[in-house]
Amino acid sequence: SQQGEEDPQALSIQEGENATMNCSYKTSINNLQWYRQNSGRGLVHLILIRSNEREKHSGRLRVTLDTSKKSSSLLITASRAADTASYFCAPSLGNQGGKLIFGQGTELSVKP
């Protein structure tokens, strides 16, 4: 398994603004997943994007994947204070029984 590297490490924005987080990885993948972790809680799965997909939406979330650059981005539109959390990307080879390795994440703070 490989881990993704999220950038920036921390992001602070005002409510209503958009938040963009980036993820880079090193080798070929089967899919890439994004998770959110609220302080003191477990992770929540947000979106899974397959290697043959370029963009995926879920509500206010938009994920893009560029396999040629080995990078992905997560965009949260019209952010809310409740979006304050850490966000992690996890590239998956798809052949290791679901095993995922996580990087340091992006700590997002949305100020009301």
Partner 1 sequence: GAVVSQHPSWVICKSGTSVKIECRSLDFQATTMFWYRQFPKQSLMLMATSNEGSKATYEQGVEKDKFLINHASLTLSTLTVTSAHPEDSSFYICSATMAAGYNSPLHFGNGTRLTVT
CA of residue 36 relative to chain centroid, distance: 8
Nearer Cβ to partner 1 (48/75):
48
Q: Which stretch binds partner 1 (CB under 8 A): 12-20, 43-51, 58-66, 68-76?
A: 43-51
- Whether 78 contacts 18, CB under 8 Å: yes
Q: Which residues of 79-102 are buried (b: 16+ CB within 10 A; e: fewer)?
A: beeebbbbbbbbbbeeeeeeebeb
Shortest spacing between CB 87 and partner 1, in angstroms: 12
Interface size with partner 1, residues (CB under 8 A): 24
**81 is an interface residue for partner 1 by CB under 8 A:** no
Strand partners, 89: 34
Binding site for partner 1 (CB under 8 A): 30-31, 33, 35, 40-45, 48, 50, 88, 94-95, 97-105
